Amino acid sequence: MDAAAAIIAEGRCVALTGAGISVASGIPDFRSSGGLWERFDPMEYATSLAWRTDPDKVWELFRATGTLFHASRPNDAHLAIAQMEKEGWIQAIVTQNIDGLHQAAGSRNVIEFHGNSVDIYCESCGRTFDREESIGFLSSTGAVRCSECGGNVRPSVVLFGEPIPPSALNESVRLAAGCRSMLVVGTSAVVAPASLLPLEASAHGAAIIEVNPERTELSRRATVVLRGEAERVLFKLLDLLRGRMV
């Protein structure tokens, strides 16, 4: 933990987070035992092809996750990350998560690499929907059609086979190439191109700090591995960082 604090204290640290950071908020991750992909086969519910051929089915996943997200609050891990940003220890947070909990915790410079479940729009006419309408969609059934043009309505999430939003991709690669360290929290690091960001950082000389109770694809490449839950580890790390200020 001291080594991790020393690395972050050198400055220009960027956080990369995954579903594990939201587990303590009651949102299951995807690939751990009991994860979302045990309930919903991603190839049936979360691909671009599934969306084109069976939007009703994909809306089942949107409703299950959207209902979870609306009922969830940031946990200590999100709060610690927001405090690290506020105190200048980290520059930005690139998140693979679509639950909006980093922003809810007070983080400001958040890049949503896989979009988000909050911004809902019509694919045909581009009409957007406010929070009340979006919550209303969660209690209806089947695919949602635009009342103005009849087009398919969906959240701004990136399904498998869809492109990462160009602005998010470009900014994330810029941050990875320019950081001196990357704090990688709660990701199995198996889904590209997000999983390539720590490799991009490392290729430019950055140190990699991993926070995860389990071993991952990234562990053997990490400079420091903090083997534990993010909601327990991150505030301890913040305390050590503050201790370096005196």
Strand blocks (E) in 139-192: 144-145, 152-157, 181-185
Q: Is residue 19 near ligand APR by the rule CB under 6 A?
A: yes
Per-residue mark of binding to ligand APR, 128-167 (x: CB under 6 A): ----------------------------------------
Q: How many whole angstroms separate alpha carbon 81 and alpha carbon 185?
A: 10
Q: Is residue 20 near ligand APR by the rule CB under 6 A?
A: yes
Q: Is residue 24 near ligand APR by the rule CB under 6 A?
A: yes
Q: How many whole angstroms separate alpha carbon 111 and alpha carbon 115?
A: 9
Rank residues 26 and 126 by Cβ distance to ligand APR and give the closer one: 26
Q: How many residues bind ligand APR (CB under 6 A)?
A: 24
Of the candidates 220, 212, 159, 160, the one whose C-alpha atom is nearest the C-alpha of residue 188 is 212
Q: Contact region for ligand APR (CB under 6 A) — 18-26, 54-62, 126-134, 198-206?
A: 18-26
Q: Is residue 115 near ligand APR by the rule CB under 6 A?
A: no
Q: Which two structure tokens, joined as six digits, stand for 50?
A: 């599934």
**Residue 209: partners with Cβ closer than 8 Å, 6 or more residues away:** 4, 7, 8, 181, 182, 183, 184, 222, 223, 224, 225, 226
128 three-state secondary structure: strand
Q: Contact region for ligand APR (CB under 6 A) — 1-9, 16-24, 59-67, 201-209?
A: 16-24
Of the candidates 153, 157, 36, the one whose C-alpha atom is nearest the C-alpha of residue 96 is 157
Q: Is residue 96 near ligand APR by the rule CB under 6 A?
A: yes
Rank residues 30 and 137 by Cβ distance to ligand APR and give the closer one: 30
Catalytic residue among 70, 78, 114, 204: 114
Q: Is residue 224 near ligand APR by the rule CB under 6 A?
A: no
**Site for ligand APR (CB under 6 A): which residue of 1, 6, 32, 106?**
32
Least distance (Å) between residue 195 CB and ligand APR: 8
CB neighbour burial string for 14-44, b if at least 16 within 10 angstroms, e if fewer: bbbbbbbbbbbbebbbbbbeeebeeebebee
Q: Is residue 186 near ligand APR by the rule CB under 6 A?
A: yes
Give catalytic status of residue 204 as yes or no.
no
Strand 224-226 relative to strand 128-129, pairing: unpaired
Q: How many whole angstroms separate alpha carbon 170 and alpha carbon 167?
A: 5
Q: How many whole angstroms separate alpha carbon 46 and alpha carbon 32?
A: 17
Enumerate residues 188-217 that contact ligand APR by CB under 6 A: 188, 191, 211-214, 216
Active site residues: 114
Q: Which residues bind ligand APR (CB under 6 A)?
A: 18-20, 23-24, 29-32, 35, 96, 114, 186-188, 191, 211-214, 216, 229-231
